[in-house]
Amino acid sequence: MSALVVTSINVEGYTKTKAEVIASHCSGNDIICMQETHLGLKSNRPTLPGMKLVAEIRHPKYGSAVFVNPLLDVRDIHTNSSDTNIETVTVCLPEISITSLYKPPASPFVWPDIPTKCRKKHAVVTGDFNSHHTRWGYDNTNRDGELVESWMENTNMELELIHDAKLPSPSTAAAGGRATTLTCASSARD
């Protein structure tokens, strides 16, 4: 399997200007996952120069979109928006699945099932979990942080956290905060 470049970003409202900035900074990316697009049913579909929109969940306050390099071999796509507005978008490639997650701050963390056809030997789960845990650099752990940790430990995808709390994202570093965007990846399995 060759290298795959994935970016996950909470855009706090999609705009064409933000899309152009993201496209210029992520021109070599294979997949771009956006959370909090804030696009309702009457909004135009989001675009990203050089990328293909493969899935979106529309919501005026939340919303998600996933873009891929048009040359990627996308085998399947699965979207899910729960009663508590937790959004997941899973893109299935031949040997790996990429899941983008957005959990609103007031919603308790509950992991929706990913269809069997999207469960691959390798998996990446990334997004805005809106959860706190000391393992991720926070001063305390909240209930959602405990639930995310428990899910990671008990998932059948054997996920490992890929996160360095000493390296906050640029947007949170400027505000003096911590990132609630987490990325998990499965270990190689035979």
| 8 Å CB contact between 124 and 155 | no
**Residue 190 confidence (pLDDT):** 43
Percent with pLDDT over 70 in the chain: 79
Query: Quick one: how far is CA 16 from the chain centroid?
Result: 20
Rounded Cα gap, residues 26 and 18, in angstroms: 12
Say whether pLDDT at 47 is over 90. yes
Report percent pLDDT > 90 for the chain: 53
Query: How many C-beta atoms lie closer than 10 Å to residue 105's C-beta?
Result: 9
Say yes or no to pLDDT of 77 above 80. yes
Q: Which residue has the higher pLDDT, 187 or 70?
A: 70
pLDDT tens digit sequence for 84-131:
899 999 999 998 889 999 999 999 998 877 777 777 678 888 888 888
Of 169 and 66, which is predicted with more confidence?
66
**Strands of 76-81's sheet in order across:** 76-81, 87-92, 96-102, 122-128, 181-186, 159-162
**Rounded Cα gap, residues 104 and 154, in angstroms:** 22
Residue 47 tokens read as 């675009």
Superfamily, domain 6-186: Endonuclease/exonuclease/phosphatase (3.60.10.10)
Q: Residue type for 112, please? A: P
User: For 123-176, what is each residue's pLDDT tens digit?
Assistant: 888 888 888 888 877 889 999 989 988 887 777 666 666 554 445 544 444 444
